[in-house]
A and B are shown apart, each in its own frame.
Chain A
């Protein structure tokens, strides 16, 4: 059942000219930042990918554009997963929010924002969630020094 769904999705999106790859049995769709909303809306309405699993980013310091934003979706009807990827530059790391499609995206976009500095256009609440107010930088970027602490309480002595 999952294999048929993947074939259908791959066929339909390849017909639209999307870049499709199969990675370890999982369908990966590579798209431009502006088209993410269109692709995901298509996946949700036509192929029943109704569960938003996660949004995260990958930092490639030597490449341009530097950041790769990755979404994962799951279909509880077809029991299959799909991955959507796009690239954004360091100078303007912005993609559109998916809150209108999936409410749970709000929290995961917050985490992606604090850890990688990716901004989600349309998400009004990008306060830090795991980090604290006043934390400077984005710790999961490769150029953040791992041991660089930013204590809230002054140290003794």
Chain B
């Protein structure tokens, strides 16, 4: 008798399980969205606006996203602030790969979003060509309000996402 044991249950999950799983996702999403640890990958003039939005009176600490971790292994939000050149792209990719899951990426300003006005051989035409991006911020440089809006959009995205922590389904 050779019977294979299915890895995943073939039965549809029960309504009670679905209810618990959803509530679990909501709880973890709520916890995660207020404890974003950003890694500022700062390369250019957008850094000024990053400092502005980090400090009072704009103060990203109100969203739990104030404490920058300067090791990618401790961070879960990669803020790419400024122009990424082709020479720098391998460094950005290495930093992204060093970050632990769950992780999110924010393209801060037009250069990180699309290359901006550097339409030439030297600049990467948007960091989404090399790493996946969750939220884009327009502007050269962006207003602090725009950055706060982006953080809130990212929080919404985290709150409504699935957060498997034990298995691939739960």
Contact = CB atoms under 8 A, between A and B. Distances in A.
Interface of A: 130-132, 139, 144, 146-153, 155-156
Contact of B86 (A144, A147, A151): A151
B19 interface: no
A153 B121 contact: no
Contacts of A144: 121
A152 B90 contact: yes
A146 B90 contact: no
A50 to B, nearest CB: 34
Interface of B: 86-87, 89-90, 93, 119-122, 124-125, 128-132
B120 A150 contact: no
A150 B86 contact: yes
Contact of A153 (B89, B119, B120, B122): B89
A147 B90 contact: no
B93 A153 contact: yes
- B interface, by DSSP: helix, strand, loop or mixed? loop
A145 to B, nearest CB: 8
Nearest to B128: A156
Nearest to A145: B121
B99 to A, nearest CB: 16
A153 B125 contact: no
B121 A155 contact: no
A131 B93 CA distance: 18
Contact of A146 (B89, B120, B128, B132): B120
Contacts of A131: 87
A132 B86 CA distance: 9
A150 B90 CA distance: 13
Given A151-B124, A152-B90, 19 more contacts: A132-B86, A139-B120, A139-B121, A146-B120, A147-B119, A147-B120, A148-B121, A149-B86, A149-B121, A151-B86, A151-B89, A152-B86, A152-B89, A153-B86, A153-B89, A156-B128, A156-B129, A156-B130, A156-B132
Nearest to B130: A153
A147 B87 contact: no
Contacts of A152: 86-87, 89-90
Contacts of B119: 146-147
Contacts of A146: 119-121
Contacts of B89: 151-153
A147 B123 CA distance: 10
A155 B87 contact: no
B113 to A, nearest CB: 15
Contacts of B131: 156
B129 A132 contact: no
B129 A147 contact: no
A139 B93 CA distance: 25
Contact of B90 (A148, A149, A153, A156): A153
